[in-house]
Amino acid sequence: MVKEDLLLTIDSDAEVENDSDSSVEDVKEEPSDINPHFEFSIGDEVDEIKDWEAETEETNKDVNLDEIIEKKRGDLPEEDEEVVESSEMEEEVDQIAQEGAEDEEDDPDAEEFYESPQSNETTSTTTFQELQLSRPILKSLQSLSFASPTPIQSSTIPIALLGKDIVAGAQTGSGKTAAYLIPLIERLIFKNSTSTKAIILAPTRELAIQVYDVGRKLGQFVKNLSFGLAVGGLNLRQQEQQLKSRPDIVIATPGRLIDHIRNSPSFSVEDVQVLVIDEADRMLEEGFQEELTEILSLIPKQKRQTLLFSATMNTKVQDLVQLSLNKPVRVMIDPPKTVASKLEQQFVRIRKRENLKPALLFQLLRKLDGRIVVFVSRKEMAHKLRVILGLLGLRVAELHGALTQEQRLANMKSFMGDVNVLICTDLAARGLDIRIEYVVNFDMPKTYEIYLHRVGRTARAGRKGTSITFVGESNQDRAIVKAAINNGRSVARKVDWNDVEAINKRIDEKESAVEEVLQEEKEAKEILRAEMQLNKATNLIKYEKDIHSRPKRTWFKSDVMGQLTKQGKKVNSKKRKANEEKKENEKRSYKKTKADRSKKSGKRK
């Protein structure tokens, strides 16, 4: 893996992005900017992920789709790979864009509509020094080139350092990870015993690994500070070994944490003083309510400081706040209402050429240089595009809900390595935090908010970035484009449609090969599943004595899960959510008093 590939760098004259609007209850703060000299190597983290992945149990083998595609490509008759580009570019100017251009008085032919009327630049009044942080932390912030705190950091750090509970409304990209890690590490600098003193809960393994890596970077100059990881899908025994050393800070997904509390004799939460619940809304969306309740009951409330971060504040999150926090200070940072100032938004009007979109995408991807994320609305499309592009000779990675944890991690790893294109759905892209030069909206998002979220993957922390959006004819699509060009720099992207047509012809010729690859993949998966079952059965016979002599693991919610698995049913997150909702309706896991309820409704706005 090329380490330089993973360097996050920005121009020295970089501007500041987003988060211009913020408010804090109890504590007032001024927005501040993101460091313009930011350079963050995540090379080490990748090694870390690789190490963990190597520990993954053998049963997690998977079908190699790239190999199937490669083989199929070899079977196909040879073709001229390089399509000769038409010298005459057909000028395809988006009508909506034209409307925008006509508004430009000085230069009506200019492709650029107008600069965003609202500058995203913010001024910093707080520095990390003013936050009175210790030397080792200031040193690590310097080594990460975090020159000044982001709004969420300058709001939360002083409050957290006072030991108060916090409920913070903050999105991914706001700097929330360091906002809780900095005060946490600060608190542990003068620790005097070896035990787990802080737990950070994250909804997914990927996010937990990211937090683990940022934590180790921020704590690199603090003597004897240790981190542990307890996440699902990775080797349980290896994690048990790591937790045996009682790391100071453990980053965990809820289910796996409960498993360790129950089954790893040397791991204990009795000394835990700080609990962080990251992406609380997502955690609840994923159906972890009962696990959270159980964890909260296991870590004593009196001596616990709890910090809860959530992008949205719905009723479920409010309930969790009631349950877990003690007189919390609320910190709300508004999500960006406009795009980053260094983002160039390009639009391609598709008109009646919907069928040409895969060809258009291929044409684009061949031209773009850098890391590219392509958003599609359906996971089936993400998978099919991977096959089509693969057969045209372009390796891409995919990320969506239909993949297993192992596949998601493997795809992310290749995207951080030698594959520069990732095709994904909105849900899967949450929390994606690597340098990206281009965002392509293959399908239009449903709302302008989602559009902002997608294009916010690029042009971060003052770097340049480009978004390219394929625009359909619906009113919804047009409304989003209008909002986009009103709030940022926009251009109509010229497309050589003759070239696209030629590529589409090649794709049409490969239609049956695409079907064959998908069929072959399906069959290979079935064979693999059968092999794994056979292996499992053989091992059960071979190690029967060993297996029976092990103490029985107990599982959280073993009643519901156990019954379903006994019936041979796979418990997926949807079923788990349905079960939880059913149980919730029958009997609440915790009883609220009248006083609680009125207190809660009084707090809600």
Distance separating alpha carbons of residues 321 and 318, to the nearest angstrom:
5
Nearest distance from C-beta of residue 22 to ligand AMP, angstroms = 14
Distance separating alpha carbons of residues 429 and 458, to the nearest angstrom:
12
178 binds ligand AMP, rule: CB under 6 A: yes
175 binds ligand AMP, rule: CB under 6 A: yes
Compare residues 140 and 172 and give the one whose CB is closer to ligand AMP.
172
Distance separating alpha carbons of residues 267 and 302, to the nearest angstrom:
21
150 binds ligand AMP, rule: CB under 6 A: yes
180 binds ligand AMP, rule: CB under 6 A: no
Distance separating alpha carbons of residues 565 and 395, to the nearest angstrom:
37
Considering only residues 52, 146, 442, 451, which one is a binding residue for ligand AMP as defined by CB under 6 A? 146
Contacts of 595 (CB under 8 A, 6+ apart): none
38 binds ligand AMP, rule: CB under 6 A: yes
31 binds ligand AMP, rule: CB under 6 A: no
Nearest distance from C-beta of residue 86 to ligand AMP, angstroms = 40
Distance separating alpha carbons of residues 403 and 2, to the nearest angstrom:
26
**30-38, 219-227, 563-571, 574-582 -> range binding ligand AMP (CB under 6 A):** 30-38
Considering only residues 149, 169, 219, 358, which one is a binding residue for ligand AMP as defined by CB under 6 A? 149
463 binds ligand AMP, rule: CB under 6 A: no
Compare residues 30 and 115 and give the one whose CB is closer to ligand AMP.
30
Tell which positions 430-459 bind ligand AMP, by CB under 6 A.
Answer: 433
Contacts of 450 (CB under 8 A, 6+ apart): 426
Nearest distance from C-beta of residue 239 to ligand AMP, angstroms = 24
Give the rounded distance of the alpha carbon of 565 from its chain centre: 30
174 binds ligand AMP, rule: CB under 6 A: yes
Considering only residues 173, 219, 228, 390, which one is a binding residue for ligand AMP as defined by CB under 6 A? 173
Nearest distance from C-beta of residue 146 to ligand AMP, angstroms = 4
97 binds ligand AMP, rule: CB under 6 A: no
Nearest distance from C-beta of residue 305 to ligand AMP, angstroms = 19
**C-beta of residue 281 within 8 angstroms of C-beta of residue 310:** yes
Nearest distance from C-beta of residue 115 to ligand AMP, angstroms = 24
Compare residues 21 and 104 and give the one whose CB is closer to ligand AMP.
21
Considering only residues 177, 324, 345, 425, which one is a binding residue for ligand AMP as defined by CB under 6 A? 177
Nearest distance from C-beta of residue 462 to ligand AMP, angstroms = 9
346 binds ligand AMP, rule: CB under 6 A: no
Nearest distance from C-beta of residue 313 to ligand AMP, angstroms = 17
40 binds ligand AMP, rule: CB under 6 A: yes
For the residues of 466-523, what is the DSSP string, one character each?
EEEEEE-SSHHHHHHHHHHHHHSEEEEPP--HHHHHHHHHHHHHTHHHHHHHHHHHHH
| Closest to 407 (Cα-Cα) out of 142, 89, 56 | 56
Which residues are bridge partners to 9 per DSSP? 39
**C-beta of residue 404 within 8 angstroms of C-beta of residue 471:** no
**C-beta of residue 176 within 8 angstroms of C-beta of residue 168:** yes
**78-86, 143-151, 160-168, 302-310 -> range binding ligand AMP (CB under 6 A):** 143-151
Distance separating alpha carbons of residues 125 and 233, to the nearest angstrom:
43
151 binds ligand AMP, rule: CB under 6 A: no
Distance separating alpha carbons of residues 120 and 336, to the nearest angstrom:
9
Using CB under 6 A, count the residues that bind ligand AMP: 17
Distance separating alpha carbons of residues 570 and 550, to the nearest angstrom:
24
Distance separating alpha carbons of residues 337 and 594, to the nearest angstrom:
39
212 binds ligand AMP, rule: CB under 6 A: no
Compare residues 153 and 196 and give the one whose CB is closer to ligand AMP.
153
Contacts of 146 (CB under 8 A, 6+ apart): 35, 38, 128, 178
Distance separating alpha carbons of residues 394 and 419, to the nearest angstrom:
9
124 binds ligand AMP, rule: CB under 6 A: no
Distance separating alpha carbons of residues 560 and 56, to the nearest angstrom:
26
**158-166, 174-182, 581-589, 590-598 -> range binding ligand AMP (CB under 6 A):** 174-182
Residues that bind ligand AMP (CB under 6 A): 34-35, 38, 40, 146, 149-150, 153, 172-178, 433, 461
